[in-house]
Amino acid sequence: MLSLDEIKELIDLVAEKQFNEFELERGAFRLRLSRGVRFAEAAAPAIVPAAPVTAAAPAPASEAAAPAVAAHSSSPAPEESLHLVTSPIVGTFYRAASPTAEPFAKIGDPVDTGKTLCIIEAMKLMNEIQSDVGGTIARIFVENGQPVEYGQPLFGIKV
Amino acid sequence: MHRFVIHHFETIKSTNDELKAWVNADEFTVITAADQTAGRGRRDRSWHSAPGDGLYMSVLLRPTAQPESVPLISLLTGITVAETLMEFGAAGIDIKWPNDVLACGKKISGVLIEGASAGATGLRLIVGIGVNINQRSFPDDLADTATSLALITERSTPVDAIRDALLDRFARWYDVWRNCGGRAIIARYCELSSYATGKLVRILTDSGDLAGETCGLDASGALQLRTPAGEIRTVISGEVVRLRENED
């Protein structure tokens, strides 16, 4: 968990560097900042059955938000242009090779076909899921360490 | 019988990493190494490879069965290793779900299976198997939890003999899986593993722990756990830790 001052500093930094989106994850704490103008583009496709995974930012972040940068919890809304990467098996979703490693893919990352996006583990069988298209990661639908079902959307890629 | 084509290296970073890079290799291509400089386990944990004393091997599979039955390969690999070690005289063999093989309560073998697929087609599986064979001692941090075939049987065994016997058994169990489905695999697994039923365990996962008593495997091989509240939970992944009777 970050202090209010740390969150303010982050917002300033994100605004200064003109990032469209910024995501920070530390254990159970997750903070996502994105510019208001990107909000509609980053909304979830309507067909996703699972709850959106981006956690609500803590209340202090909203109070401290600069005009150009708003912290928000994203909510499902129609989105037609995203290509969905789905899970081929039932298992546990991991965004990185180990608990301390960098995620394979973050929102905003450009990806090529064949790029590893995540691992789905079932009974110590670590299944690397690769992108079947080139594009930009627009949505990540599942939290690290959560179970996923066959066919469940994992990533939304803007082609 | 399948024709395994074995490529041996004296020193390699990791047999799994090497085989993963051979994207066009045929099914049943095998890489072995006398020494691994960066052997890996689940969630990128390191695997201690004593040069020349262990079997460090990866086998490439290209299964074409339904994706939901593929994780059973994880269990059949554990069965294969357990039976092979018993064939070579190891006593006290057990399998900790899903496929750590124990001898007299200590780890003698670990398995890491890595799959790569784009969509649901063209699955490549790298079955990595490490077996402690002729080690007479382990580093301090492993001494309480690791053992070897030599420590159990009090004699040395040629690593190649284990490799050949293991591949032979692996091929047979792989054929059982391809031709007969999972029932025989789960039945044999439950005979060999004391963890399958009646064991008090804690499951460690990235998203929290869960304690309970094991109560069998479902048809996919997932562990069934009865929680203290009497609820049955299906465990698909996680590190299983045995609890003593008086722990909760």
Say whether residue A81 is in contact with chain B using an 8 A CB cutoff.
no
Is B34 among the domain residues?
Answer: yes
The percent of residues in chain A predicted with pLDDT above 70, rounded, is 50
Say whether residue A75 is in contact with chain B using an 8 A CB cutoff.
no
- pLDDT tens-digit series, residues B192-248: 999 999 999 999 987 789 999 999 999 999 999 999 999 999 999 999 999 975 454
Q: Is the dihedral of CA B48, B49, B55, B60 positive or negative?
A: positive
Are residue B160 and residue B208 in the same domain, yes or no? Answer: no
Closest approach of chain B CAs to the CA of A66, in angstroms? 33
What pLDDT is recorded for position B242?
A: 92
Say if residue A60 is preceded by a cis peptide, omega within 30 of 0.
no
Closest approach of chain A CAs to the CA of B46, in angstroms? 11
Give SS3 for B119.
coil
pLDDT for A60 beyond 80: no
Are residue B16 and residue B124 in the same domain, yes or no? Answer: yes
Are residue B167 and residue B209 in the same domain, yes or no? Answer: no
Is B112 among the domain residues?
Answer: yes
Q: What is the ipTM of this complex?
A: 0.88
Q: Which of B192, B210, B234 is the last residue of a domain?
A: B192
Are residue B72 and residue B183 in the same domain, yes or no? Answer: yes
In whole angstroms, give the CA distance from residue B121 to residue B111: 24
pLDDT for A141 beyond 90: yes
Chain A residue numbers touching B118 (CB-CB < 8 A) = 113-114, 130-132
Is B248 among the domain residues?
Answer: no
Q: What is the mean pLDDT of each run of 10 residues along chain B (248 residues)?
A: 88 94 92 90 73 93 86 97 98 97 96 76 87 93 92 96 98 94 95 97 89 96 96 94 69
pLDDT for A39 beyond 80: no
Are residue B81 and residue B152 in the same domain, yes or no? Answer: yes
Is B173 among the domain residues?
Answer: yes
Are residue B137 and residue B219 in the same domain, yes or no? Answer: no
Looking up residue B142, the CATH number of its domain turns out to be 3.30.930.10
In whole angstroms, give the CA distance from residue A41 to residue A45: 10
Say whether residue A150 is in contact with chain B using an 8 A CB cutoff.
yes
Are residue B35 and residue B154 in the same domain, yes or no? Answer: yes
Say whether residue B115 is in contact with chain A using an 8 A CB cutoff.
yes
Looking up residue B206, the CATH number of its domain turns out to be 2.30.30.100
**Could you tell me which residues come within 8 angstroms of residue B59 by beta carbon, excluding any fewer than 6 positions away?**
B4, B19, B28, B29, B30, B126, B127, B129, B167, B170
What pLDDT is recorded for position A9?
A: 67
β-strand partners of B61? B125
Say whether residue B74 is in contact with chain A using an 8 A CB cutoff.
yes
**Subunit contact A113:B117, Cβ cutoff 8 A:** no
Are residue B59 and residue B154 in the same domain, yes or no? Answer: yes
Are residue B78 and residue B170 in the same domain, yes or no? Answer: yes
Are residue B137 and residue B23 in the same domain, yes or no? Answer: yes
Are residue B125 and residue B237 in the same domain, yes or no? Answer: no
Range A68-91 average pLDDT: 64
Domain enclosing residue B175, as ranges: 5-192
Q: How many domains does chain B have?
A: 2
Most confident of A38-42, A63-67, A113-117: A113-117
Report which of residues B129 and A58 the model is more confident about: B129
Q: Which residue of A has its CA nearest to B222?
A: A123
Range A83-97 average pLDDT: 92
pLDDT for A50 beyond 90: no
Say whether residue B237 is in contact with chain A using an 8 A CB cutoff.
yes
Chain A residue numbers touching B64 (CB-CB < 8 A) = none
What pLDDT is recorded for position B61?
A: 95
